[in-house]
Amino acid sequence: MPFKATFNRFYAQVKTSLQDGTFAKLTLAKRIGNTDLMNIYVWPIVVDGVLKLELKYKYQQDEVQQIVSIDEAEVVLLQYINNPFMSALLFTTNADVVYKLNKKRAVSITEKAPTFAHPSYELAAFLKESHK
């Protein structure tokens, strides 16, 4: 898969934002073609004291949730890059990081000013509890 190396680099920023407590949300968006799957939203969730990620698959008529480890999420999400999604948006309190494929399938990773002022509540609570 030609996007694997660049997506791995992007996902390393996801992991860093989870570790340093700045992660707010991750979204896969900008679909190619007419698919039922509209978006994938990713949020931290704590299950039995372990930080995991909840993937919410937003379809036109339905939503499906999946809870996976942080490493598993990388593998799962990579399957959806270029089929059907052309972009992944990482929202952190430091910056919005945009992973984008253009029409020629060239990858760009850019940063913008942050949209979110606060990290995910679940992540902040988990990190606060784990540092006690």
Using a cut of 0.85, tell me whether the model's pTM lies above it: yes
pLDDT at residue 39 greater than cutoff 90: yes
Q: What is the mean pLDDT of residues 57-67?
A: 95
Per the prediction, the chain carries an average pLDDT of 93
pLDDT digits (tens, 9 = 90+) for 68-81: 999 999 999 999 99
Q: What is the mean pLDDT of residues 54-77?
A: 96
pLDDT at 31: 83
In the three-class reduction of DSSP (H, G, I as helix; E, B as strand; rest coil), residue 96 is classed as strand
Helix 4-20 vs helix 70-78: crossing angle, to nearest 10: 150
Instruction: Specify whether the CB–CB gap between 40 and 132 falls below 8 A.
Output: no
Confidence of residue 91 (pLDDT cuts 50, 70, 90): very high
pLDDT at 2: 66
Q: DSSP letters of 12-69?
A: HHHHHHHHHT-EEEEEEEEESSS-SEEEEEEEEEEETTEEEEEEEEEESS-EEEEEE-
